Structure 1
Amino acid sequence: MSQSASSSAPNPVRRVAFLGLGVMGHPMAGHLAKAGLDVTVYNRTAAKAAQWVAEYGGRAAATPREAAQGADLVLACVGNDDDLRSITLGADGAFAGMARDAVFADHTTASANVARELAAKAAEHGLHFIDAPVSGGQAGAQNGKLTIMCGGEAAAFERAKPTLAHYGAAVTLVGAAGAGQLAKMVNQICIAGLVQGLSEAINFGERAGLDMALVLDVIGKGAAASWQMDNRGKTMMANKFDFGFAVDWMRKDLGFCLDEAKRNGAALPVTALVDQFYGDVQRLGGSRFDTSSLIWRLRKLDGGA
């Protein structure tokens, strides 16, 4: 769709809607309210929307369409492709309530296919759609330090970017519709391999009798250093796996990666193997553990805790 005059010379975003108030969406929407924006929220479980309003002010709407009416920018963070379609399409969906030329930015980690599908549907309504998945987890959402990778039209991205910056430390357009989701897949592929490697390393060092707190401190100053080592190494040693991003969600994300790899021909042997390991964690009862629980699987296999 060609860019309109208002796309090239946008007015500042004042009224926003936020759809989905889970562990990520709740604090993200909160940052917008704290920034002084006029925020209307929607959540499938209405009690969560009422709780958010009690904490931050603003308004709660009964449907995505009602939440989106009058908003300059509509934001979303829900569970999966079907959830995303349910809040955007149909008589009660956000697209039906949005004003022409408004922007919808989606923070759900979903498939690249659904991002392209909804970008086309938005264009049919005279709207703009940005796929904008995030990295940084619950702590990043709470601290306003998320990394946001976006796909979509450049003009629509520039209109949304200042608002996304209220909870994003890095907000970057990486390509056309679907490119944000593809970039998030790259992120998850990296994380899967890193966490499995760190799990094996810690388990190996423990079984070798090393002081692993000391070892991680030493090697964390060299080439083996990573965010995972700095932020999860010691908690992995302590069998603490309650940091928000559950194994169930990681398996969903890796499923997107593996499906996309079948389409584009990329080989993902390590990712496929780690996906199976996360399946083991689920079967062992750790579905709601965070992604660093791969070491728990190794300990279970070794007969430990």
Structure 2
Amino acid sequence: MKIGFIGLGNMGMPMALNLHKSKKIDLLGYDVSQKTTQKFKSKKAKATNSLTELINFSDIIITCVPGPKQIKSLSVGKNKIIDQLDRNKVWIDCSTNSLSCFNFLKKKLKRKINQFVDATISGGNLKAQSGDLSIFVGGQKKTVNKLKFIFNILGKNLYYLNTAGAGYAAKIAQVSLCYLNYLSLSESLMLGVKSGIKPKTMLEIIDKSASGGYTSTRYGPNMINGDYDPSFFLGLSMKDLNLANEIIKLEKLNLPIMNLTSKIYKNALKKFGPNSNHLKVIKILEQNNKLTFSKEGR
């Protein structure tokens, strides 16, 4: 099976390398960054600088790129992905995409929609490395069934949603909760620390309580050590929230907590910039309350 993997970033690189380990797969990678491509090659994996070469090579094309803009650029036009799809070639998109972009793709795909599967991912870089991702899969059941061996390599929690586009919706809904959780955790920490409890102790109390969970275990340490987690960027967080707000407007939903979260992230983006570490959003809370968790002792 020949697989072309487009997008060798923070998530795509470990995913592609896990596929590369399979003896059943002949993998070819591609990324717009030459530095990233060279890093992939240093892992004894094949890569190309030509998108056309990758598309022609592949039985299955997997994309894992930042968002709608990149997806459109890769897929629409002569010799791009959609133009080259046929009964023997399938496109799996693992990107976090908007529903408006999906509707655009659906019009371009037409009858080729059966050769398209949206398979959005969740779990972060560590679970991408270990092959323990959660994957939300939308698409024609017959097509999806042929691809299960790929999903089983990449993830452990697999959700087959059948309808094309459903994977995108599931990812947007799921990832939105992450941003609400980050802010809620930081506020809970602030209550305890302002009352004289050391940040490390307060985090341990939260983590071991009924309110503890993945967010406090995985991201709590990044909040109190002051690095604000370098594995993801604030601009990408805002991109995800914008996708959620698109659904809110489309479905005419009234979600006040989501609206407030978006406002806080917009403020953080303006203050710190899109390339800041994503948890730097909590620095607004720290500044407003004249307290920095990392300076309070752990």
For the criterion TM > 0.5, the same-fold answer is yes
Q: Distance in 2 between matches of 1:126 and 1:251?
A: 29
Distance in 2 (CA, whole Å) between partners of 1:146 and 1:17 is 20
1:37-186 map, 5 Å: 37-63=25-51, 65-125=52-112, 128-186=115-173
Q: Quote the offset at 1:70 in angstroms.
A: 4.0
Alpha-carbon distance in 2 for matches of 1:174, 1:218: 37
Partner Cα separation in structure 1 for residue 155 and residue 44 of structure 2: 19
Q: What letter matches 2:70 in structure 1?
A: D
What TM-score do you get using the length of structure 1 for normalisation? 0.88
TM-score under structure 2 length normalisation: 0.90
Aligned-partner Cα distance in 2 for 1:70–1:100: 15
**1:284 counterpart SS class:** helix
Q: 1:133, 1:21 → 2: CA distance?
A: 15
Aligned-pair CA distance for 1:176: 1.0
Contact 1:150 1:175 in 2 (8 A): yes
- Which residue does 1:187 correspond to in 2? 174
Q: 1:214 and 1:283, CA in 2 relative to 1: closer, same or farther beyond 3 A? A: same
1:240-267 deviation line (CA, Å, top 9, x unaligned): 2134121111111110111111111222
Range moving further from structure 2, 14-23 or 209-218: 209-218
C-alpha contact (below 8 Å) 2:114/2:143 kept by paired residues:
no
| Sequence identity percentage | 24
CA contact (8 A) 1:27 1:141 kept: yes
Show CA shifts across 1:36-94 (max 9, x none). Answer: 3201122223443243123232241512x321224221100112212101111211312
What's the CA shift for 1:31?
Answer: 0.8
8 Å CA contact 1:70, 1:99 repeated in 2: no
CA 271–291 in structure 1, closer or farther in 2 if over 3 Å, else same: farther
Q: Look up the match of 2:198.
A: 211
Q: How far apart are the structure 1 equivalents of 2:269 and 2:198?
A: 29
Structure 2: stretches of 5+ with no match in the other structure: 293-298
1:127 shift after superposition? 5.4
CA contact (8 A) 1:66 1:94 kept: no
Q: Quick one: which of 220, 224, 239 aligns to 1:252? A: 239
Alpha-carbon deviation of 1:234? 2.4
**Matches of 1:233 and 1:126 in 2, distance apart?**
41
The yes-or-no answer on 1:299 pairing with 2:286 is: yes
**Aligned AA (1:151):** G
Could you list the runs of 5+ residues in structure 1 that have no partner in the other structure?
1-13
Q: Structure 1 pair 40/106, CA: closer, same or farther in 2 (3 Å)?
A: same
Pair 123,72 (structure 1): closer, same or farther in 2 beyond 3 Å: farther
